[in-house]
């Protein structure tokens, strides 16, 4: 009898939902956000202390794009309390993140990302980890599990891959490289190729 394969094998201490990652095809296209659902208007973004410092550091440049983070010439406090240790990003009344901005064509972009590019810094150092990770999602806990956000396919930038892919989608690979590193992504890729 063939042994049942673990659907969530552990890689570097993280249980990975291999099938969910295998099925996902992702390409961030901000122009879609002008007419369709935008991730920057959908979720509460929780940030820890380290991320708060990085965000504050990028704010003077981000204010060139997201005018809402300036009030009477001063930078606003962009954080609401989430719990004792963490905070969440403030949103506008319509739910849009305070750091989002629209270009001339209506595309919704992240001012922390734009600021990082201007400053020659890796954008993944200024953006919250949950934003970089989306549409993937890390369920924290004693045994953290990496999977795909439940409603990911409601957004135009995500679609199910055709057939049974034997390699990671390039958009998903880029996310894993940015958040967990190349070695982690290669281990995930090997498991996907093996099935
Ligand atoms: S920080 Fe940037 S990527 Fe994250 S929700 Fe706000 S605008 Fe979007």
pLDDT of residue 82: 67
Q: Token pair 């300036």 is at which residue?
A: 70
CA of 57 to the centre of ligand 1 (A): 15
Report how far ligand 1's centroid is from the alpha carbon of 127 (Å): 7
Write down the pLDDT at residue 3: 47
Q: What is the mean pLDDT of each run of 10 residues along the chain (195 residues)?
A: 70 95 94 82 93 95 96 94 81 95 92 97 93 96 94 94 90 96 96 83
Measure 9 CA to ligand 1 centroid, in angstroms.
30
The Cα-based distances of 139 to 46, 153, 154, 183, 184 in angstroms read: 13, 18, 20, 21, 17
Query: What global pTM score does this model have?
Result: 0.90
Which atom of ligand 1 lies at the shortest distance from residue 131's CA? 4
Q: How many angstroms separate the alpha carbon of residue 2 from the centre of ligand 1?
A: 45
CA distance 191 to 19: 10
The pLDDT score that the predictor gives to residue 163 is: 85
Q: Where are the beta strands (DSSP E) in 6-164?
A: 10-11, 14-16, 24-26, 46-47, 70-71, 74-75, 79-81, 87-89, 100-102, 108-110, 136-139, 145-148, 158-160
Instruction: Provide residues with CB under 6 Å of ligand 1.
Output: 40, 45, 89, 97, 99-100, 110, 112, 127-128, 131
- Sketch the domain layout of the chain as residue ranges: 1-36+134-195, 44-127
pLDDT at 81: 80
Nearest CA to ligand 1 atom 4: 131
**Rounded to whole angstroms, how far apart are CA atoms 191 and 167?**
9
- Cβ atoms of 57 and 45 within 8 Å: the answer is no
Q: 174 CA distance to ligand 1 centroid (A)?
A: 18
């Amino acid at each position: 009898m063939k042994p049942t394969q673990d659907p969530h094998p552990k890689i570097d201490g993280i249980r990975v939902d291999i099938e969910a990652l295998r099925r996902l095809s992702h390409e961030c296209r901000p122009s879609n956000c002008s007419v369709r659902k935008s991730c920057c208007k959908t979720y509460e973004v929780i940030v820890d202390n380290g991320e708060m410092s990085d965000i504050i550091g990028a704010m003077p440049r981000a204010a060139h794009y997201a005018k809402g983070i300036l009030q009477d010439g001063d930078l606003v406090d962009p954080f609401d309390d989430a719990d004792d240790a963490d905070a969440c990003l403030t949103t506008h009344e319509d739910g849009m993140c305070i750091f989002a901005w629209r270009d001339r064509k209506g595309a919704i972009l992240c001012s922390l990302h734009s600021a990082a590019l201007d400053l020659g810094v890796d954008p993944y150092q200024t953006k919250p980890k949950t934003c970089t990770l989306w549409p993937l999602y890390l369920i924290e806990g004693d045994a953290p599990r990496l999977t795909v956000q439940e409603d990911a396919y409601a957004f135009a930038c995500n679609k199910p891959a055709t057939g049974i892919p034997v390699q990671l989608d390039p958009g998903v690979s880029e996310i894993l490289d940015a958040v967990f590193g190349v070695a982690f992504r290669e281990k995930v890729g090997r498991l996907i190729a093996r099935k």
